[in-house]
Amino acid sequence: MASFKIKGGTKLKGELIPQGAKNEALQIICAVLLTPEEVRINNIPDILDVNNLIHLIEKLGVKVNKLNDSDYTFKAENINLDYLKTEEFKKQG
């Protein structure tokens, strides 16, 4: 797996083109929780694990907009971590 070495003091900006594989998609989708800005992700595979994660972050308060079969936008302005303590969440396990 490739890695990046980041030295401090410089603002990060750029694009990453994932392969459309499940493991990469899961990690990238989780990263939308790190910013309140809208994030667009393309080439998301339509598989159960990925769809379950998208549903979970939506329940956490992330605004999810499906643009087409594999492209989404996410906006994590108001995350509600208390959802993780609800009976609804516990029943999903």
Confidence of residue 93 (pLDDT cuts 50, 70, 90): low
Among 18, 14, 13, CA closest to 2? 18
29 three-class SS: helix
Q: Check pLDDT > 70 for residue 20.
A: no
The answer to whether the CB of 35 falls within 8 A of the CB of 76 is yes
What is the value of pTM for the model shown?
Answer: 0.75
Q: Which of 15-19, 23-27, 59-63, 88-92 is most confident?
A: 59-63
Over residues 26-77, the pLDDT tens digits come to 999 999 999 999 999 998 999 999 999 999 999 999 999 999 999 999 999 9
